[in-house]
Structure 1
Amino acid sequence: MERARRALQTPLGAAAFLEASLVHLNLPQAVFEAMLEEFDRQQAARGLAVDTRRGRERLVRQLRASSDAWPWEWLPSHFDAWSAAHLRQGRTKATLRGYQNAIVAFCAFIADPRYRWGEVCERLFGMVPAQVTHDLNLIRHKGDYEGRPEANRPLARAELDTFFSTVNARAETAARLHRKGAATAHRDAVMFLTMLGWGTRRTETACLDVDDFRRNAKSPQFGQYGVLVVRNAKSFPGGPPRRRSVLTAFPWAAQAVQDWVERVRSACYPEVESKVLFPTERLRRITPRQINLRFAAIRDEAGLPNYLNPHCLRHSYTSTSFEMGWPMALVQDQLGHTHVATTAVYTALSDDFKDRVLYDSLGMSWDDHNPAGGAR
Structure 2
Amino acid sequence: MSTHALGSAKLVLAQNVVHIDPAPAVFEAMKEGWARQQSARFLRAASITPRLRLIERFGEFTGQYPWQWTPAEGEAFIAHLRGGAKPIQMSTARTYEVTIGLFIEYLMDSRYGWTEVCGERFGEGPQAVFHEGNSVLHTIEYEGDPRRRPLDYDEVQALFDAADARPAKIRGQGRKGVLAALRDAAVLKTIYAYGTRRTESSRVDLVDFRRNRKAPRFGNYGSLMVRFGKASKGAPAKRRTVLTVPEMDWVVGVLQEWLSEIRPHFAPGRHPALWVTERVGRLSPRSINEAFVNARQAAGLDEDLDLHCLRHSYITHLTEFGYPARFVQEQVGHSHASTTAIYMGVSNEYRNKLLEASMKARLGEDWE
Q: Which amino acid aligns with 2:177?
A: G
Task: Pick the aligned partner of 2:66 from 63, 68, 71.
Answer: 71
Contact residue 104 and residue 127 of structure 2 kept, 8 A:
yes
Instruction: State the identity %.
Output: 38
SS across alignment from 2:102: helix
Structure 2 CA distance for partners of 1:354 and 1:26, relative to 1, 3 Å: same
Cα deviation, residue 199, structure 1: 0.4
TM-superposition CA deviations, 1:92-134 (whole Å, max 9, x none): 3333322322111110001112211112112222221112110
Structure-1 separation of matches of 2:235 and 2:17 = 38
Q: 1:26-37 counterparts in 2 under 5 A?
A: 26-37=21-32
Structure 2 CA distance for partners of 1:97 and 1:239, relative to 1, 3 Å: farther
TM-superposition CA deviations, 1:197-256 (whole Å, max 9, x none): 000112211222222111111111111111111111111123221111100111111221
SS across alignment from 1:141: coil
Q: Over the residues paired in the alignment, what is the CA RMSD in angstroms?
A: 2.8
Gaps of at least 5 residues in structure 2 are 360-368
Cα deviation, residue 164, structure 1: 1.3
Structure-2 separation of matches of 1:136 and 1:117 = 26
Aligned twin of 2:126 = 129
Structure-1 separation of matches of 2:338 and 2:13 = 50
Moved more, 236-245 or 168-177: 168-177
| Residues 1:315 and 2:312 aligned together | yes
Aligned twin of 1:288 = 285
| Residues 1:297 and 2:294 aligned together | yes
Contact residue 192 and residue 313 of structure 2 kept, 8 A:
yes
| Residues 1:181 and 2:174 aligned together | no
Structure-2 separation of matches of 1:266 and 1:239 = 36
Cα deviation, residue 182, structure 1: 0.7
Normalising by structure 2, what TM-score? 0.87
Aligned twin of 1:254 = 252
Q: 1:102-121 counterparts in 2 under 5 A?
A: 102-121=99-118
Cα deviation, residue 174, structure 1: 2.7
Structure-2 separation of matches of 1:251 and 1:12 = 53
TM-superposition CA deviations, 1:59-107 (whole Å, max 9, x none): 2122112222211111112222222333343433333322322111110
Q: Which amino acid aligns with 2:62?
A: S
| Residues 1:47 and 2:16 aligned together | no
SS across alignment from 1:245: strand
Structure 2 CA distance for partners of 1:169 and 1:18, relative to 1, 3 Å: closer
Task: Pick the aligned partner of 2:191 from 195, 204, 214.
Answer: 195
Normalising by structure 1, what TM-score? 0.86
Aligned twin of 1:95 = 92
Contact residue 76 and residue 132 of structure 1 kept, 8 A:
yes
Structure 2 CA distance for partners of 1:17 and 1:347, relative to 1, 3 Å: closer
Structure-1 separation of matches of 2:357 and 2:165 = 35
Structure-1 separation of matches of 2:342 and 2:145 = 12
SS across alignment from 2:241: strand
Aligned twin of 2:362 = none
Structure 2 CA distance for partners of 1:187 and 1:143, relative to 1, 3 Å: same
